């Protein structure tokens, strides 16, 4: 398919516009080799993929943005729609194709392709419909960009991140799932809403599975640097455990509510994925709760399993996992969440 209508010539064999418009600088030095050309490929041009692409563009995270999808007409339409906004965006080359060769030498490949979640359907029930799809996606990405970092967005994200790791043959630090990064944002929003503060002042994590067995780390929540539960205890302010559980349940149910209302989720995951891309590509070394190879952390030792833990992200991908204090109950729930995922992974034969 036609990748982009842009070029430096006017028509086939036409006037070289670069030569006509610009007089070269004499004795100019070659561009510095330290200047990075950042290339991001987004696989899947559906609602989620395009929300991520749009956010990447507006936040100026890439010099080149590649879109890949199985539907050529839809793909070209999305590419043109973004290209036509060039006057309002930072300068980014936008390319689209059904051929994975277009992703060659990508710094980051973001995989969003997958079957759409049906209203009321658990994320885990999407597993068997998406594994076969990944067998056609991950190997060519790894072949054309052997040094890339894979970011998996497709659900069920934890198991599909494991599938991507297995199919790519990459070291585990270069395969990451968006995991509970968005769940944690929803969690922070709900806590901030209860306390009438800015969500950015709330430090709170959801870990484990991105789904029904996720774990809210209430023991480590702080607002403005103040540990919430210990503050309540010191002030002898009573609180009900059921109240805390209701907030966690609202986090779990929030995606289902959005899907039931508008048919899909897109904008929040778009911002979430772009935030992760920024941390990775700009080597910001920020802590994000993302899906990583969890074996050996927090007592998870039943097998190779990807689930969300607070991890430091940078140019090398996953740089490490934070030693957040967990209560015995939280650690047990995390292990239970890992076992939920492991039970399903055992059926994949990878």
Is 263 annotated for ligand binding? no
Residue 98: CB atoms within 10 Å = 14
Q: Annotated binding residue at 225?
A: no
Does the N-terminal peptide bond of residue 317 adopt cis geometry, omega within 30 degrees of 0? no
The CA–CA distances, whole Å, from 63 to 39, 235, 249, 316 equal: 6, 52, 40, 19
Cβ–Cβ < 8 Å for 37, 57: no
Helix ranges, 84-145 (H): 127-144
Q: Is 198 annotated as a binding residue?
A: no
CA atoms within 13 A on the CB side of 295: 10
In the three-class reduction of DSSP (H, G, I as helix; E, B as strand; rest coil), residue 119 is classed as coil
The annotation status of 120 as a binding-site residue, yes or no, is no
DSSP 8-state symbol, 208: B
49 is in an annotated binding site: yes
| Cα–Cα dist 90/61, whole Å | 9
Dist. CA 225–CA 202, nearest whole Å: 8
169 is in an annotated binding site: no
Question: Does residue 104 have a known ligand-binding role?
Answer: no
Both tokens of 99, joined, read 């051929």
Q: How far apart, in whole angstroms, are the C-alpha atoms of residue 134 and residue 114?
A: 8
**Distance from C-alpha of 11 to C-alpha of 16, rounded to nearest angstrom:** 9
Within 8 A by CB and 6+ apart from 338, the residues are 208, 294, 300, 302, 305, 307
Active site residue 194: no
Residue 173 labeled ligand binder: no
Q: Is 153 assigned a ligand-binding role in the annotation?
A: yes
**175 is known to lie in a ligand binding site:** no
Among candidate residues 210, 248, 288, 325, the one labeled active-site is 210
Query: Residue 155 annotated as binding?
Result: yes
Catalytic residues: 210
Residues tagged in the binding site annotation? 44-49, 69, 130, 153-155
Binding site membership for NAD(+): which residues?
44-49, 69, 130, 153-155
């Amino acid at each position: 398919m036609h990748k982009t209508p842009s070029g430096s010539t006017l028509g086939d064999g036409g006037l070289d516009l670069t030569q006509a418009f610009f007089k070269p600088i004499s004795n100019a030095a070659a561009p510095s080799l330290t200047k990075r050309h950042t290339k991001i490929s987004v696989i899947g041009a559906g609602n989620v993929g395009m929300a991520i692409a749009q956010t990447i563009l507006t936040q100026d995270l890439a010099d080149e943005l590649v879109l890949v999808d199985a539907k050529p007409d839809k793909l070209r339409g999305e590419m043109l729609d973004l290209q036509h906004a060039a006057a309002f965006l930072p300068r980014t080359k936008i390319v689209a194709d059904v051929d994975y060769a277009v992703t060659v030498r990508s710094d980051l490949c973001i995989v969003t392709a997958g079957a759409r979640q049906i209203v009321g359907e658990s994320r885990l029930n999407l597993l068997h419909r998406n594994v076969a799809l990944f067998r056609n996606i991950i190997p060519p990405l790894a072949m054309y960009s052997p040094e890339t970092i894979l970011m998996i967005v497709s659900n069920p994200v934890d198991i599909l991140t494991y599938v991507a790791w297995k199919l790519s043959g990459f070291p585990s630090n270069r395969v990451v799932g968006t995991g509970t990064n968005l769940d944690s944002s929803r969690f922070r929003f709900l806590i901030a809403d209860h306390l009438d503060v800015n969500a950015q002042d709330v430090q709170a994590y959801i870990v484990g599975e991105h789904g029904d067995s996720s774990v809210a780390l209430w023991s480590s929540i702080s607002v403005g640097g103040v540990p919430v539960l210990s503050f309540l205890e010191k002030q002898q302010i009573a609180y009900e455990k059921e109240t805390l559980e209701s907030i966690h349940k609202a986090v779990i149910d929030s995606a289902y509510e959005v899907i039931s209302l508008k048919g899909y989720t897109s904008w929040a995951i778009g911002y979430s994925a772009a935030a992760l891309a920024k941390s990775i590509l700009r080597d910001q070394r920020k802590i994000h709760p993302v899906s990583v190879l969890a074996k050996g952390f927090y007592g998870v030792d039943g097998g190779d399993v990807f689930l969300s833990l607070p991890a430091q992200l940078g140019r090398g991908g996953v740089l490490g996992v934070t030693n957040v204090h967990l209560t015995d109950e939280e650690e047990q729930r995390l292990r239970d969440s890992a076992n939920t995922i492991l039970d399903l992974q055992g059926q994949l034969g990878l």
